[in-house]
Structure 1
Amino acid sequence: MNNYLGFLMFATLVAAAPGPDMLLTIQATVLGGRPRGFATIAGIVVAATMQGLLVVWGLAAVLTRSQPLFLALRVIGVLYLLYMGAGAIRAAIKGELAPSDEAAEPSPSRRRLWSNVRQGFLCNITNPKVLMFNLAVLPQFVSNDAPAAKLLVYCLTLVTVGTAVLVAVALTANAARRALAKPRARRCVNAATGTVMVGFAAALAAEA
């Protein structure tokens, strides 16, 4: 029980640390409202759950030990972060706010919401650090001979805590939308998000 409580506290600290998932959630919510922020979170949760299941099944260890596969995953992660970052920066420079301004609609279209789900999913699933974190941290709290069910509980706890933090972030960002309603403020949000995304991509590439 003490191990689990310690893991719960550690998971909360990790989830509260800024990362690509959090930045994407903030951007989607500020520019598109709470529905699109929650749609982004839904995509992230699906991807994080899949990564947790990979750890439970032992496939994550196989993937990280296979240098070609892991390198390919890292390259995909870098390219996707660069793509997201460049898109946000381009939108900030050109002032392309029309798509996000439609977030003022009470009910964003299903197509737009699915686009946010897809972005959240890809942002998490292409991040090899999620797998590495699970493989490096979980053994500190769960013994190697622990049953798969126990490992699954820990993995899902990490997903649940991360989801709770992202929901809180989305609600806070949604509350700040009034202050960020002006085009100039939205351009600043895009510029900041894009710059940090590119920075994450550079850091991920440098680790290779």
Structure 2
Amino acid sequence: MALETWLAFFVACWVISLSPGAGAIASMSCGLQYGFLRGYWNALGLQIGLALQIAIVAAGVGALLATSALAFSLIKWFGVAYLLWLAVVQWRSRPSAMASTSGESRSGRPLSLVLRGFLVNASNPKAVVFMLAVLPQFIHPQAPLLPQYLIMGVTMIVVDLIVMAGYTGLASRVLRALRTPGQQRVMNRVFAALFVGAASLLALVRRAPVA
């Protein structure tokens, strides 16, 4: 991959990652609930989901997803249901008063947080179709494809890890200011509403018509 092509893709990765979406909401929610170090496991799950999406595009399966209305709908509605489930969990999350001298956050199992992040990204078929449209624009068709997809995949994942660290860290700083159960309850309701909003946007997504 030529340096100028990679630089253009690098800039595109920042624009894509910084755009608010379900991944950013999930990262902020985990940062708020568990603090940065524990909540960042969610970001690892997001990257595993992202790697799966890139692999699907590289394998050509993304083209099937783009043309199959049934496959697109099944994955989309699973994603909608999962985001709504996250909203319910967030809404029902019990606030707990935080000691002003304690820097520890509420516990959360790393594996559960990784799975949570993975499902957020893996259940978004629009992301696969989007990458199917974007990634080939940076591919040199005469050069070996696997190294190019590996370079783009590593670039996207590293950039997204940095961006999600920012979202998680920002929310974890907010966490320190939430001392009362009432304040925590308000933030839980806000993030529940954001998950519902993300689910609603995903529900409105339509597969692009096949030419």
TM-score (norm: length of structure 2): 0.85
Q: Report sequence identity in percent.
A: 29
Larger helix proportion, structure 1 or 2?
A: 1
Output the amino acid matched with 1:68.
L
C-alpha contact (below 8 Å) 1:52/1:156 kept by paired residues: no
1:13 is displaced (CA, Å) by: 1.4
- Pairing of 1:69-84 with structure 2 (within 5 A): 69-84=71-86
Runs of 4+ in 1 over 3 A off after TM superposition: 104-109, 143-146
2:120 aligned residue:
123
Change (3 A) 1:145 1:57: farther
CA distance in 1, matches of 2:127, 2:147: 20
CA distance in 1, matches of 2:106, 2:186: 23
1:65 aligned residue:
67
1:131 is displaced (CA, Å) by: 0.6
C-alpha contact (below 8 Å) 1:35/1:113 kept by paired residues: no
Q: Per-residue CA shift, 1:56-103, capped at 9, x if unaligned?
A: 111222222222111111111111111112222333xxxx125x97xx
Q: Which runs of 5+ in 2 are unaligned?
A: 207-211
- Number of matched residues? 201
1:144 is displaced (CA, Å) by: 4.4
Q: Per-residue CA shift, 1:130-179, capped at 9, x if unaligned?
A: 21221111122224454221122112211221111111222232233221
C-alpha contact (below 8 Å) 2:31/2:170 kept by paired residues: no
Deviates more, 1:54-63 or 1:5-14: 54-63
Q: Which runs of 5+ in 1 are unaligned?
A: none
Two-structure CA RMSD over aligned residues (Å): 2.3
Output the amino acid matched with 1:32.
Y
C-alpha contact (below 8 Å) 2:40/2:165 kept by paired residues: yes
2:201 aligned residue:
203
C-alpha contact (below 8 Å) 2:91/2:188 kept by paired residues: yes
Change (3 A) 1:112 1:65: same
